[in-house]
Structure 1
Amino acid sequence: MAQFRPAGFSDEDSDSDDYGFYEKPSRNYFAQQHQNSKKTLENKLQEAIINGNIDEVENIVIYDLNNSVNIKLDSGWTPLMHACFHAHDKIVNFLLQRGADPNLHADSVTPVMAVCSNSSANNDTIYQIICSLIEKKSLLNVGDKYGQTPLMRAISSGRVKVVEKLLNERVNIEMRDQQGWTAVFWAAHHNQPEILELLIAHKARLSEVDRYSRTALEIAMSHDHQDIINILNKHLKKDDDLEENSSISLNNQMTSWHDYYPGVGDENTLSYMCEIPHLLYGMNCERLGALMVNSSMNLRQFLLLEEEDMIKLGIEMPYERQRLKVGLKNFHLRGWKLNAVAGLYARKSENYSVLDCLTALGTHMQQIYILEATLQYTLRDYNRNQNQIKFEPPDSPLITRMKTSTNKFITNINNLRREMKNMKDVLIKISKSNPPPADLIKEKPFLEVAIGYVTDVLVICSLGALIYQARSYLARVLYK
């Protein structure tokens, strides 16, 4: 039977619903009072930071908070974030000295992002705060939930000196936000020609497109930023001229089909060094091209680079090493199509020209070279994984995934073997149905040349004797 509360009683009346079965806990007024006082203290600290009152901030932090400077205030920000956003350099230095963490964030915003967002404070003050944060190992290559980095925020605020400082710290100028904009796009959008020149001096890409297939030049033209348009047009034309000159010089170096087979003409091993810059560009790591060239590494060494090798080469920035490792992994994991592997086999033609044969052979040589490096890469990681799974229980999900991956790997190897057999059959067919190239005519052996020479001498001597006998016979006939 349903029970109804008599008229006049409510949920707040203690006698109406507990019926003596349990006692309600008594309220802890002292804890509530302490919490309220703490809230009041945090509000006072936040107001003191916003107002730039360094003396009050010191008193609250030292005597009331016992140097607890990494607390979250009512706003969700830390005291350091407020001090950075409002550009109070003295408070920033005090908090850093007291152990404030420069990398604590709120809603993916860090202190260095907060100070770079300030567009009203003095330039020197902002610059000093940035230097203080960098000294305390503040992370610079991070983005907020919209992908905006400290460099992008500094560009939007027009902080030329800060941008130059960040670039000297070798930040990643090609990081993209959610709409696919790099630092060049931000400089073009916010009409910052001086900053754009700095970015170009640090080898920023100018022909990239965003998620909507727009270039930085198109962004500048949509806002009619004439200075930005002139700078981009000038440097884009210069890049086109350099690319044209480099392609001309490359074509001039190609004198015969031997040049397409690296290491064949000079009797050295295959290197394929010319492929490394293309791979670096695809991995967004073209800045590392000079390091690779100076090291004289071949393509195989590049494809098998590890963390220690990258450090020895001089790749100091961790994000560059990570990007290169991810790029190499994706390269080794990519799929091969039949047209790419089988070459002439996929065309199923009856007659092949000499150029077709040379092209297919060169392609197969490079593919085998890369596949060997991929197998070495896979074997290296397989051994590492073996060491990791030694301590896994037999029913571990990791073991199951490893078995599934192993079966797929074996299937891929068998497919490669089948394609290698097809390639071998094609090459045998080519060798039987096509004449040998003219430049492969062999020199005659010495013995064969000597015998031919002696034969020629005997023939000449025999002819001389016959001529002498004929002359003697004619002389006797005429003088009789």
Structure 2
Amino acid sequence: MAQFRPAGFSDEDSDSDDYGFFEKPIRTYIPAQNEKKKMENRLQDAILNGNLKEVEDIITYDLHNGVNVKLDSGWTPLMHACFHAQEDIVKILLNKGADPNLHADSMTSAMAACSNSNANDSTIYNIISLLIEKGCLLNIGDKFGQTPLMRAISNGRTAVVQLFLDKNVNVEMRDQQGWTAIFWAVHHNQPNIVEILIQHGARLKEVDRSGRTPLEIANLQDYQDVLTIIKKHLNIKDDLDKDKYIFSHVASWHDFYPGLKNGQRLADCADKYLSGMDLRTFLLLEEKDMIDLGVDMPYERQRLRQGLRNFHMRGWKLNAVAGLYTKKTNEYSVIDCLTTLGTHLYQMYILEATLQYTLREYNRIQNQIKYEPPDSPLINRFKAAAKKFQTNINSIRKEIKILRNLLTKVSKSNPQPADLIKEKTAKDIAVSYVKEIVVVCTAALLVYNAKNFVVNLLRK
């Protein structure tokens, strides 16, 4: 019976599923529980640190060459080595018979390697080449439907993408949200990969489950290089009405965490680990926080970290930060003011979290930049980023000033509604009492004068 069926595929029992997964008998050696735990920890540390000799010794003597054993995390040693981009260890494990198609929670070794965003391109390319030589499956998807090709695209691995295409991978496979490889290349602003995929037959007029095309997603993110390439292949001229092609969609966190269906809660991106968490806490999650929440799979943690980084680094459009200011008109409706005010309250909330995130990351690399020369590219990038951040804050300040002036103008020039009911002030109460006293006194005086007039009249 198949041990795993990717989302969207048949539930028919068979020895293999539509993606080609097949659970082979695994030769394992199971020592005593405490010894097993210690051994697994040693093995994972050795892989992480690239200690080739220790890995060989543990596999040979502790595991009796049981190279396909699944560790406590559910991953095999090969998956760990691929994820941490340890090329030499991957080569040793494959030579000892490691199966590149064994999977854990729908993750394969090829997916693990393509999920690494820190290693250099040549290392990942060499690892994928080794896996392909040993017959690893490429046209397969994880529980989100994402293929090794999509993961390589997400991290900008152009050479690896070209390698996959040379092996005739299916560029039209879809994930849970209906995205093909071209959607992922557009979403991650990879113009070179977009061009390569188009040259290999990727279709540009497909729509995802939300009805969006790659062109609409590029417009949403304002990726000009990608837009230029897509418009060229679709024969769209720049002088056409831009509003016809701009996708009217309000960006949400779903746009930064592809793989989730519309309506799914944020917690679903890590199997409900984040249930009940407020947005600010989520935006400032660290590795140790994810571990405390029970996110045990290394890829899930990296996916969350990368998504948070993309969220904090995303650029803001001018008309989003300074909505009324950019209109350059003296006529604004109340709806315009209220909408802009609500948007800016949300933006300030996000900016505060982003500022804390930036300061935290900056503190971590202070030792690395301590000895950088004043004119180094890194320092210049820091200065440019700080200047841009300050510009966004100043734009919001301008907008607040405009709104304050508008509200003052409205309060002075507009009469109060006829049916407005509000609590009386002390001044109003005092004035009303004075009015009542004046009325009573006036009435008493009139009565007195009238009485005197009548008496005088009778006497005559």
Mark yes or no: TM-score above 0.5.
Answer: no
More helix by share: 1
TM class by smaller structure: 0.3 to 0.5
Q: Which has the larger radius of gyration?
A: 1
Q: Under a length normalisation based on structure 2, what TM-score does the superposition of the two structures give?
A: 0.44
Q: Under a length normalisation based on structure 1, what TM-score does the superposition of the two structures give?
A: 0.43
For CA contacts below 8 A with separation 6 or more, give which structure has more relative contact order: 2
